[in-house]
Amino acid sequence: MQTLKRLKTFVCFFLILALMVPATQAKAFIFSEFTITDEAELGTKVHSLIRSNYHVVQDPEITSYIQDIASRLEKAAPPQPFPLQVDVVEDRSLNAMATVAGYMVLFSGMITRMETESELASIMSHELGHITQRHVARNIERSQKISAGALLGILAGALVGAEAGETMAVGSMAGAQSAFLSYSREDEREADHVGMNYLIEAGYNPKGMVSAMQKIRRLQFFSGGDIPSYMSTHPGVDERISYLRNRIERLDDELLKREDDNTRLYRVQTLLRARHDDPSKALEHFRKQSEHECLANLGMGIANSRMNRVRDAEQNFEKLLSISDQDPLFLREAGRFYFQYDRLDKAGELLQKAAMLNPDDSLALLFYARVLAEKGDTDTAISYFRETLKKMPENSRVHEFMARTYGEQGDNFMAHTHMAYAHIYNNQRSRADFHMDRVRAAAQTAEQEKKVKELEKAYEQRVQFWKKTS
C-alpha cells in the first residue's frame, strides 16, 4: 500500500508539473525539431529525475564494471554526440532502458539474473542501439507539439511504472502515457540488429543476445510481475528471437566460440545480492554456492552482518581472508564489517590496505576516513572525504560524514553546507532548507558566498523533482 500511495503522489505531482507550464512559456519548449541542445537539457533533467526517485548504486566495484562494458560497446558503435552513461538502480525488477542524451539505466535484477557477461552486454547493446538510432529523439520530433514539462511528466510516469512493479519494456518506454514514447516493432528490430553488430564488434559472443531474451521470457512463468511486460505483451518477440537465431547461423563459427570471462560479473552479482536483496534469501543462495568459495564467504559475511549475526559474519570474513588477503574488495568488505562493530584498529588496517591496493575504490577510502574521524584525526579524515567526493559528488552519506567531522572541528559554515548537500541528495527538502538558511547566515567571505551559490544551484537541480511532502 505504501508503494501504491507513493506512486499516486508522484504521478500526481508530475501531472501538475506538466499542467503548470504556462502557455507562453511552453511555446519556448515546443520541439518542432529536437536538437542536440534540447536533448542535452532534457537528459540532465531525466538524470536528476532518476537519482531523485530511485536508489542509484554507487559502489565503484559495480559501477566501474558496468561502465567498462558500456565503454567497450561504445567503441564498437559510431561516434555519438553524448558519452554513454549508465546508472545501476537498486531494484529486483528484470529491467533496463535507454532514455535520452546517452543515459541508460540498468536495474539490479537484470544484472543478477544474467549468467554470462555476453548476456548482460547484449541487453546493454540493444539499449545502445536505441540510443545510436535516436529512437526516443525521433519520436519526440514526430510529436511536434509537446512542452518540456509535459514530456518530463510522461517520462516520470514511465519511470514510476517500473517502481510499482509494472516494469517497462526491455529497451522500450512501455508504460508511458503517450504513444510517441513507445518503440515500434521496427525500432525494436533495428535495435536488435545494430545491437548485435556492436556486441560482435566489441568481442562478445553473439549467442548471448538470444540466450538473454530466452531467459527473460522463461522467467516470466516464475516471477509474475517481476519481469518486463514487454516480453509477454509486445508482439513479435518470438519473431525477433527467430531473426536473431537466423543471423547467428550465418556467422563465422569462430565468433560463436568466444568465451566469457565472468569473474567480475560474479563479484558484482555477489555484492548486489548480499547488499540489496533480502538478507535471509541471499544467505540461502550463498550457502549453495560451492563452486566459488571466496564469493560465497563474502556474500554470507555481508548477509549475516545485515542480520546482526555477528559471530557468523566474523567467521565468514576470517575464512575469506585466510584464503585471499590481497584482494582489495575482500579487504574492504571485511573492514566495513569490523568498523560497524567498533573494531577500529582492525578496520583501519584492512581499509587502508584496500585503498592502497585499489586507489579507485572510493568506498574503501570513505570508510578509512570514517575510522580516522572516529579516532580523532579529523584533518586527515576530511582530506580523504574530499577525495571521495571527487568520485561520488552526490553521495549523501559522504556529505553527512563530512558535516559531522567539520562540526567536531567547530566549523559551523562547512558543517551546515555539507549537511545541506546530504539532505539535498537524500531528497529531504525541509531539512535541506533548514541547513541552507544556516549556511546563508554564516557566510561572511567571498569564498563562502561562492559556496552558497554552488549549494543553491544543486538545490534547484533537485527541488523540482521532489514531492511537496518531502
pLDDT tens string, the chain, 470 residues long: the values are 443 344 334 434 433 343 333 333 333 344 456 788 888 888 888 888 888 878 999 999 999 999 999 999 999 999 999 999 999 999 888 888 888 899 999 999 999 999 999 999 999 999 999 999 988 777 777 665 555 555 566 555 555 544 433 333 333 333 333 444 467 778 888 999 999 999 999 999 999 999 998 888 877 655 544 544 445 444 467 888 889 999 999 999 999 999 999 999 999 999 999 999 999 999 999 999 878 999 999 999 999 999 999 999 999 999 999 999 999 999 999 999 999 999 999 999 999 999 999 999 999 999 999 999 999 999 999 999 999 999 999 999 999 999 999 999 999 999 999 999 999 999 899 999 999 999 999 999 999 999 999 999 999 988 877 754 44
All residues at 6 or more sequence positions from 453 whose CB lies less than 8 Å from its CB, including other chains: none
Q: Cell numbers for 385, please give them.
A: 572525504
Which three cell numbers, joined as nine digits, stand for 202? Answer: 566489441
Torsion sign, CA atoms 224, 229, 231, 235: positive
Contact status, residue 365 vs residue 353, Cβ threshold 8 Å: no
Please check whether residue 175 is in contact with residue 161, taking contact to mean a CB–CB distance below 8 angstroms.
yes
**Farthest-apart Cα atoms in the chain, separation:** 71
What single DSSP character describes residue 288?
T
Q: If you search the block for the grid coordinates 508504460, which residue do you land on?
A: 175
Give the span between the Cα atoms of 14 and 187, in whole angstroms: 28
Backbone phi, psi, residue 103, to 5°: -85, 135
Helical spans, DSSP H, in 54-133: 60-76, 108-113, 117-132
Domains in the chain, start-ordered, CATH in brackets?
A: 2-256 (no CATH), 278-463 (1.25.40.10)
Round to the nearest angstrom and report the end-to-end CA distance of the chain: 19
Q: Which of 290, 148, 174, 288 is nearest to 227 (CA)?
A: 174
Residue 78 Cα distances to 129, 132, 194, angstroms: 11, 8, 10
- Quick one: which of 178, 177, 180 has its CA closest to 138? 180
In the numeric block, which cell numbers belong to residue 247?
A: 543471423
b/e string for 68-107 if b means 16 or more Cβ within 10 A?
Answer: ebbebbbebbeeeeeebebbbbebbbbbbbbbbbbbbbbb
Distances in Å between the Cα of 456 and the Cα atoms of 436, 437, 439, 441, 464 are 8, 11, 10, 14, 13
Q: What's the CA gap between 89 and 274, in Å, rounded?
A: 15
Using an 8 Å Cβ cutoff, are 168 and 229 in contact? Answer: yes
Rounded to 10°, the helix 446-463/429-442 angle is 160
Q: Which of 50, 166, 79, 66 is nearest to 108 (CA)?
A: 66
Q: Is 103 helix (H, G, I), strand (E, B) or coil?
A: strand
pTM for the model stands at 0.85
To 5 degrees, how large is the angle CA 10–CA 12–CA 15? 110
Query: For residue range 171-194, what is the model confidence (pLDDT) as tens digits?
Result: 333 333 344 446 777 888 899 999
Q: Which of 46, 10, 130, 51 is nearest to 424 (CA)?
A: 51
Question: Cα–Cα distance between 314 and 221 in angstroms, integer?
Answer: 38
CA distance 66 to 325: 25
Q: Please choose, from the candidates 167, 51, 181, the residue with its C-alpha nearest in 3D space to the C-alpha of residue 110.
A: 167
Sign of CA dihedral 399, 360, 369, 279: positive
